[in-house]
């Protein structure tokens, strides 16, 4: 069928809205009419000089929409269902069977290649040339997307679908980092570096976990102000030269937990330095450059790399929705809507820090 998609044609070029041909869903796939799709910082990866998934590509991996068709082999999902699209996984490897699909042995191929495992994309442009698609198993910056049944989490039809896309990646990653991966315990202290969508969701998760001291570190004052409204007890200007000293002062010698969402090696070093002995840091941000640690940096401390909050979307998205309905997880405060035709403005608003979570509406 013909759909309209925002195609990234060059690493340094704009997205261009184009008609493209989308193949019908295969046996294990579903066709979804996209109602809204959040923009996550990870959507800029195909702009990197070296990328698994160079342009031309359709990105977008926080879709929400209505199922329009299901493949022959799909069970439990019906035409008309409202769904949130998350990352893809196989469902049958050791990690998937253990309930940890973010560690699926085919995670990278399914989510970052812009192709199915058989290397097809299912999308061609007006010239008949292939366009990379299947970004995180979906490619939702479009009017429609084909996703696998595993990508899809069915949600209640009474919920506002236009707000729910970001639950599929950024919000899930942040909240999962504190609630699942770090499993923050009550009355403990935590520092979150970067108060973007992922960091603010980590802060909301830490508040749900009843952490006593929640410190947000960022370079933008308006993001730190919002962090205070969403559960942070203290904020620190990331440009200050005594960030570690301030953390030690606020936490009685060092934090129990830290989350880094910046991916900046100097910030990651501070995240480790600001921990008390026995503390744990979760690295979430996509790292920009090598991290070099001095000999003492890891003594008595734990560092983990977190993917998608180490969550299973099929259980964690419903959990976030329950918390949101109970008024304990106001993730929708991060959202600003843009028409899909203004995707370039949305990207700029995100990269300059003005908008925390742009949501595109086809």
Ligand X SMILES: NC(=O)c1ccc[n+]([C@@H]2O[C@H](COP(=O)([O-])OP(=O)(O)OC[C@H]3O[C@@H](n4cnc5c(N)ncnc54)[C@H](O)[C@@H]3O)[C@@H](O)[C@H]2O)c1
Window 251-290: contact mask with ligand X (x via CB under 6 A): ----------xxxx--x----------------xxx----
Q: What share of the chain is helix, strand, coil (3-state, %, to 5)?
A: 35, 25, 40
CA distance 159 to 280: 36
Q: How far is the CB of 96 from ligand X (least distance, A)?
A: 16
> CA quadruple 351, 10, 84, 179: dihedral positive or negative?
negative
CA distance 6 to 42: 16
Residue 211 binds which one of ligand X, Zn ion, none, with CB within 5 to 8 A depending on kind?
none
CB 335 within 8 Å of CB 186:
no
Q: Which CB, 42 or 148, lies closer to ligand X?
A: 42
- Per-position DSSP letters for 175-217, written without gaps between them: HHIIIIIS-PPTT-EEEEE--SHHHHHHHHHHHHTT-SEEEEE
- By CB under 6 A, the residues from 296 to 335 that bind ligand X are 306-308
Structure tokens at 207: 């508040």
Residue 219 binds which one of ligand X, Zn ion, none, with CB within 5 to 8 A depending on kind?
ligand X
CA distance 14 to 353: 19
- By CB under 6 A, the residues from 112 to 171 that bind ligand X are 169-170
Residue 286 binds which one of Zn ion, ligand X, none, with CB within 5 to 8 A depending on kind?
ligand X
Among 115, 223, 234, 319, the residue binding ligand X under the rule CB under 6 A is 223
Among 5, 40, 272, 359, the residue binding ligand X under the rule CB under 6 A is 40
Question: Binding to ligand X by residue 197, rule CB under 6 A?
Answer: yes
Question: Binding to Zn ion by residue 139, rule CB under 5 A?
Answer: no
CA distance 281 to 254: 12
CB 260 within 8 Å of CB 254:
no
Q: How far is the CB of 264 from Zn ion (least distance, A)?
A: 18
Query: Binding residues for ligand X, per CB under 6 A?
Result: 40-42, 169-170, 173, 193-199, 217-220, 223, 238, 261-264, 267, 284-286, 306-308, 353
Query: Binding residues for Zn ion, per CB under 5 A?
Result: 40, 42, 89-90, 93, 96, 104, 169
């Amino acid at each position: 069928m013909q759909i309209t998609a925002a195609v990234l044609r060059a690493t340094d070029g704009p997205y261009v809205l184009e008609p493209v041909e989308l193949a019908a869903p295969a046996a294990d796939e579903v066709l979804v009419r996209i109602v809204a799709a959040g923009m996550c910082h990870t959507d800029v990866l195909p702009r990197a000089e070296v990328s698994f998934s160079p342009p031309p590509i359709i990105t977008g991996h926080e879709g929400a929409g209505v199922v329009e068709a299901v493949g022959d082999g799909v069970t439990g999902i019906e035409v008309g269902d409202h769904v949130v699209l998350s990352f893809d996984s196989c469902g049958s490897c050791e990690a998937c069977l253990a309930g940890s699909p973010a560690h699926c042995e085919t995670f990278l191929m399914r989510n970052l290649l812009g192709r199915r495992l058989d290397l097809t994309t299912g999308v061609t442009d007006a010239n008949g040339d292939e366009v990379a698609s299947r970004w995180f198993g979906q490619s939702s910056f479009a009017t429609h997307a084909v996703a696998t049944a595993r990508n899809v989490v069915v949600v209640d039809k009474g919920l506002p679908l236009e707000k729910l896309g970001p639950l599929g990646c950024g919000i899930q990653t942040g909240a999962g980092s504190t609630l699942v991966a770090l499993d923050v315990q009550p009355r403990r202290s935590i520092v979150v570096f970067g108060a973007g969508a992922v960091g603010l969701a980590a802060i909301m998760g830490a508040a749900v976990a009843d952490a006593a001291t929640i410190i947000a570190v960022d370079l933008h004052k308006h993001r730190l102000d919002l962090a205070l409204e969403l559960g942070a007890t203290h904020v620190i200007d990331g440009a200050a030269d005594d960030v570690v000293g301030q953390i030690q002062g606020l936490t009685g010698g060092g934090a129990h937990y830290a989350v880094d969402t910046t991916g900046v090696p100097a910030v990651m070093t501070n995240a480790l330095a600001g921990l008390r002995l026995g503390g744990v840091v979760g690295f979430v941000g996509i790292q920009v450059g090598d991290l070099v640690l001095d000999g003492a940096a890891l003594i008595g401390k734990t560092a983990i790399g977190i993917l998608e909050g180490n969550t299973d979307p099929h259980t964690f998205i419903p959990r976030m929705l329950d918390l949101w309905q109970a008024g304990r997880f106001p993730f929708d405060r991060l959202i600003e809507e843009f028409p899909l035709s203004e995707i370039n403005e949305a990207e700029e608003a995100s990269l300059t820090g003005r908008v925390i979570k742009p949501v595109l509406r086809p």
